[in-house]
Amino acid sequence: MPNTRSANAVRLEFAPDSLVQSNLSGAAFTGDWLWVAGDEACGLDRLRRLDPVGQEVLRFGEVRDFKLDDLLDLPGAAGEEADLEGMAVADGFLWVVGSHGLKRKNTKPDRDHADNAKRLAKVALDGNRRLLACLPIEPDANGEPCLVREAQDGRRALRLKGDAQSNLLTRALADDPHFGPYMAIPGKDNGLDIEGLAVDGRRLLLGLRGPVLRGWSALIEIEVEARGDQLRLVPLDATGILLRKHFLQLDGLGVRDLHFSGDDLYILAGPTMVLNGDIRVFKWPAARPLLAANREPARFEAGLTESVSLPHGHGTNRAEAICDLPPGLAGRKPSWLVLYDAPGADRKEGEATVFGDLLRHD
């Protein structure tokens, strides 16, 4: 469990024109290289470890963009926001997932009441939000890890079968008694909103920021396989079930990110809707073997342990991403990197540099 937080210990230097700059929603490592996602882009950024220049423990920079439409045939328009929320590196692939949810227009201070009322009634779907994909990681001629459409060993970038309106996952959820009724509700209104991703072989855990049902947060477990140039859902067992549901007691909070550390699963949790509230890290001990052995279509887990609360501001500094530091970066003290959406002035330097935290854990 974490016992020490080092604030602003990680310096991330972006460029003024980079795809991702400040609203960070996902993170994963390949050795000394850091991959980051932002929820307002249609791509990912890669940063290299650099020597510190100030009081920070770690510094990353020399950013490089990887556009999703260069890697995949996207379900929506090229460049349309993908709202990437979850990332994980496994078996030579970088996995990414979009929120999959609807969005509602917000009010604007320069509009009159009637116009704002109309805006607040408008609900839309960006097709690229319904993206679940794996992207091959391959070193280039300089040995730097890159995302490619097809690797030399035959690995290919694949996404879950679907289009701008639906995919195999949303079709399975549409008939689900727990989540089906929330498919037509925008994510930030406690509707469907995927924000966490953890990978164990071909099995994926998708963490839901919403809906939270009577205080129970949820993980969706699925299994995928490559068929042709797409990913397909495959049954989790001989009964033919395509998804399992794991309801977690997180004190009413929704999932913001997931991360396996050994057999344990760590859950970053925060408010379901747009609130300035608790952001906490929970531990599900020995989750990996339990999930592998489980055959229940739905199960409830109240035995999680809480580790630490993270600070937040008023509309700023919302923790959105957590991942383990590789041993070569962490040294003798295992640590997580925590990154933030809407970083406040205390987490920014200039126009393109932001800071994350380190959390030490046992």
Would you state the pLDDT for residue 13? 97
Mean pLDDT per 10-residue segment, the chain (362 residues): 78 94 91 92 95 95 96 91 94 96 94 96 94 97 97 97 96 97 95 97 96 97 95 96 97 95 94 84 94 94 84 86 91 88 91 92 74
Would you state the pLDDT for residue 24? 93
Would you state the pLDDT for residue 3? 62
Would you state the pLDDT for residue 78? 86
CB 63 within 8 A of CB 45: yes
DSSP 325-353: PPHHHHTTS-EEEEEEES--GGGEETTTE
Would you state the pLDDT for residue 306? 73
Return the SS3 of 135. strand
Give the CA diameter of the chain.
59
Token pair belonging to 272:
């379901």
Q: 298-301 and 244-249: which strand pairing?
A: parallel
Would you state the pLDDT for residue 313? 80
Would you state the pLDDT for residue 161? 97
Cβ neighbour number for residue 189 with a 10 Å cutoff: 18
Taking CB atoms within 8 Å and a gap of at least 24, the contacts of 110-118 are: none
Return the SS3 of 12. strand
Cα–Cα distances in Å, from 35 out to 157, 279, 346, 355? 16, 23, 23, 15
What domains are defined for the chain? 2-361 (2.120.10)
- Residue 326, amino acid: P
